[in-house]
Amino acid sequence: MRKHHTDKYESRYAGRTRVMRSSAMRDLMSLTARPEIISLAGGLPATDAFPAEVFRRITAEIGAENLALSLQYGPTEGFDFLKEDIAQVMAAEGTQIDPAHVLVTTGGQQAIDLITKTFIDPGDVVLTEGPAYAGALTTFSTYEADVRHVAMDNQGMVIEELETELTKLRGAGHRVKLVYVVPNFSNPGGTTMSLERRRRLVELAEEWGFIVVEDNPYGLLRFEGEPLPTLLSLDEHDNVVYLGSFSKIISPGIRVGWIVAPPAILGKVVFGKQATDLCSSPYNQLFVHGFVASGAWRDYLDKQRGIYRGRRDAMLSALGEELPRGSHWTVPEGGFFVWATLPGSLDTADLLVKAIDENVAFVKGEAFFVNGEGGRSMRLSFSAVPEERLQEGVRRLGAVIRDQIELLRALGLGEWPEDSEGEAMGGRRSDG
Ligand SMILES: Cc1ncc(COP(=O)(O)O)c(C=O)c1O
């Protein structure tokens, strides 16, 4: 029998395959599918709450009224009626757009891919939050971008740091093409960019000549506090490209997202999309249309927000009881994620192996950086786990962390206070 110790195709792969990497979340998915595991890892919406009768009605209507259309190729840009629906959904967040500036994509992930394909040559600089959405990092590295992180705090990307980085890069002869941000309830930070920083970011885009890529799949999932204007709505100079998605507000299985951009940019993006998939699924676009045009999405979103708020509260109170002193974590006002950072020399990659043995999973912080940072942090998702299981999951996690501290103590590594209470980052809890 012939054995291949090396990959026999090695010499034929494109150079970019050397920098392509798998998303840590995808790798974890297979593990966390085991029923005994409480997964705080995947950023999954609570699709089990989707009303079955509405699903049946929409699919029956597609069959009765739009059978041929749903089975045929569609326009690369997406159906005009869906662009109108998208304008309506964005208006609910206070952003007025011209439907002619929309291009429908196969999920928000494709939107990131198409924008990167349109703007980035190998070696071009992309600046992003640190930590940043891992799926975007995967795309940027596939296109061989030079990705740099800009620190964030509980008000989002630190704009002073962005300015420092821009200056430093200019000094080194680099031009920054894209600044990618998730301003609302960021993945993985759970934080929201303040209004002042939003204003400054769009000003800087004009001053420095970069494109802001505003990725906003969670904006409508605010369950606390006042909505803030999108970067797109603050921008007066056409420097913002906005990415939206129905994944978190309807279903990720439907795979429908969108881009809002100036016509010149969309003209390029259309060619990129033709090369990728010709068009996004007409059937799925009709499904989204059925849901949005009937107005059913508004009630569904209200219900979802209530679910997520309850789950967030359950997670935060469990973290308060279980995480050791010196830990801190974000308090999201919407979305799916809490970002927690542990004290001392605790390493979340080590902890993850032990946590999985104890049937609880999370995503280690380093998955959200390209530079090895994030070792003491982890992303905890509360979106898809019922409250009691969330509490049990955090309890298991707390036990794993305490065991690890005991071990490090026994080895004389690090200093550990006796008391084991943590604190919420910023301590900012409001009841909006
Ligand atoms: C910030 C962000 N952008 C984009 C996506 C991609 O989602 P989709 O392709 O399902 O729209 C996700 C999914 O987790 C996300 O969190």
Residue 13: pLDDT above 50? yes
Q: Are both 353 and 306 inside the same structural domain?
A: yes
Cα gap 364→350, rounded to integer Å: 9
The CB density around residue 420, as the number of other CB atoms within 10 Å, is: 17
Q: What per-residue confidence (pLDDT) applies to 6?
A: 85
Ligand 1 pocket check for 348: Cβ under 6 Å: no
The CATH number given to whatever domain includes residue 395 is 3.90.1150.10
Q: Are both 289 and 347 inside the same structural domain?
A: no
Q: Does residue 264 fall inside a structural domain?
A: yes
Residue 335: pLDDT above 80? yes
Query: Taking Cα atoms as reference points, which of 156, 244, 159 lies closest to residue 205?
Result: 159
Q: Are both 180 and 140 inside the same structural domain?
A: yes
The reported pTM is 0.94
Token couple for 32: 């966390």
Cα gap 380→368, rounded to integer Å: 13
Q: Does residue 61 fall inside a structural domain?
A: no
Q: Are both 155 and 200 inside the same structural domain?
A: yes
Q: What per-residue confidence (pLDDT) applies to 223?
A: 97
Q: What per-residue confidence (pLDDT) applies to 18?
A: 84
Q: What per-residue confidence (pLDDT) applies to 426?
A: 44
Ligand 1 pocket check for 422: Cβ under 6 Å: no
Q: Does residue 214 fall inside a structural domain?
A: yes
Residue 321: pLDDT above 60? yes
Contact 245, 112 (CB under 8 A): no
Q: Are both 106 and 157 inside the same structural domain?
A: yes
Q: What per-residue confidence (pLDDT) applies to 19?
A: 80
State the residue for tokens 């950086």. 369
Mutation pick for ligand 1 pocket among 86, 133, 242, 336 (CB with most ligand atoms within 8 Å): 133
Q: Does residue 163 fall inside a structural domain?
A: yes
How far, in Å, from the CA of 108 to the mean position of ligand 1?
A: 5
Residue 429: pLDDT above 60? no
Confidence grade of residue 428 (pLDDT, cut at 50, 70, 90): very low
How far, in Å, from the CA of 223 to the mean position of ligand 1?
A: 19
The conformation of residue 211, written as its DSSP 8-state character, comes to E
Residue 108: pLDDT above 70? yes
Mean model confidence pLDDT for the chain: 93
Q: Mean pLDDT lowest for which of 259-263, 406-410, 415-419?
A: 415-419
Q: What per-residue confidence (pLDDT) applies to 68?
A: 98
| Ligand 1 atom at shortest distance from the alpha carbon of 110 | 9
pLDDT digits (tens, 9 = 90+) for 248-268: 999 999 999 999 999 999 999
| Number of structural domains the chain divides into | 2
Ligand 1 pocket check for 247: Cβ under 6 Å: yes
Q: What per-residue confidence (pLDDT) applies to 34?
A: 84
Q: Is 140 helix (H, G, I), strand (E, B) or coil?
A: helix
Residue 168: pLDDT above 60? yes
Q: Does residue 413 fall inside a structural domain?
A: no
Q: What per-residue confidence (pLDDT) applies to 427?
A: 39
Q: What per-residue confidence (pLDDT) applies to 15?
A: 87
Residue 133: pLDDT above 90? yes
Q: What per-residue confidence (pLDDT) applies to 432?
A: 26
Ligand 1 pocket check for 85: Cβ under 6 Å: no
Beta bridge partners of 379: 339, 363
Q: Are both 283 and 327 inside the same structural domain?
A: no
Report the sign of the C-alpha dihedral through residues 104, 105, 108, 110, in that order. negative
Which domain does 76 fall in, by range? 69-296
Residue 316: pLDDT above 80? yes
Query: Taking Cα atoms as reference points, which of 32, 21, 19, 48 lies closest to residue 363?
Result: 32
